[in-house]
Structure 1
């Protein structure tokens, strides 16, 4: 079996259309992929920001490409602080890695694969 290096640094993620976004990711990885309930997930995001990321900046998480809003999370608490940094994050390069537990709901569906879409906003 031949193993080939994946060239697409964003894996299965696609950048949003347009150029009005203050944060641009050049690399994103999620492990394991697909996610496994009851196990840890590790997410690494590398890119640039053209704005200061203030404390309280929100990350909106979507589970479909049509933008159905699912929930929002504090970007600083979810990614910046676990990476050993603090908000505000100054303009420029960013590289954050965070690990947390994907909780398992005993009554939840089994063997389901979903996609994750995100948008970052600030208050």
Structure 2
């Protein structure tokens, strides 16, 4: 897999993630995706309104969690970004790697939980944009 290609977002370089990010707490026992699939972790939803200590209603927190479209790539299948019939790697484009934060549609893939975190198994063509990439 070619991990050397530069990845740029529209309008400039992708921002780097801090070493520890409260939106994505550590998760144990993450399944290994088969074939061309990825496992992503949804961002945690804040229990309070931004900049305040006012607690949100449970229904609002649950709705925001369901509608979450920001996710961190945890694991990548061996055949991701390869032709399904020939196994030849796709040319061009960003190849995601664990740690990348991406934008995904809320209705694609299989959702499940581990360690009180929402994970989702998606196909390699599902992510819409690369939002953040950890610094090497």
The alignment's TM-score, normalised by the length of structure 1, stands at: 0.30
Higher strand content, 1 or 2: 1
The alignment's TM-score, normalised by the length of structure 2, stands at: 0.28
